[in-house]
Amino acid sequence: MKRATLLFVSAVLVSGPALAQGSTPFPADDKTLAAGLEIAEIHCASCHAISTDDASAEEGAPPFRTLSQLYPLESLEESLAEGIVTGHEGMPEFAFAPEDIDAFLGYLSSIQIQK
């Protein structure tokens, strides 16, 4: 299994279909989206593409703008709260506070592109 895939395995095991674009349960106001982007920049940008047009720095790390094609974003809430743990070197273990989860997932929802 590719190392980037391991990031989301625990969330995907019990997930359902992805949300349709525009039907997100997460906050979408400018302040929250900016906070979500900041979280992505701090914790994720060293490996993942975090915007609508950048490239992932780490080979195999999926761009965040396509995550909803791979995983239902709402299924990530529990993993983000309890701590994402992966089986590869270099991926930090971290857990987010509830307001950070909402901001991060709101940001992810806002940048998703459809196939």
Q: What is the pTM of this model?
A: 0.74
pLDDT in tens, 36-72: 999 999 989 999 999 999 999 998 888 999 999 988 9
Q: What 3-state class would DSSP assign to 49? A: coil
Q: Where are the alpha helices (DSSP H) in the chain?
A: 3-6, 9-12, 30-43, 67-70, 76-82, 98-111
- Is residue 88 scored above 60 in pLDDT? no
Compute the average pLDDT of residues 83-87: 62
- Asked if 51 and 111 count as a contact pair (C-beta separation under 8 A), the reply is yes
Residue 16 has pLDDT above 80, yes or no: no
Per-residue pLDDT at 95 exceeds 60: yes
* Residues 16, 48: Cα–Cα separation, whole Å: 24
Domains with residue ranges and CATH for the chain: 24-111 (1.10.760.10)
Residue whose C-alpha is closest to residue 5's, from 84, 62, 59:
62
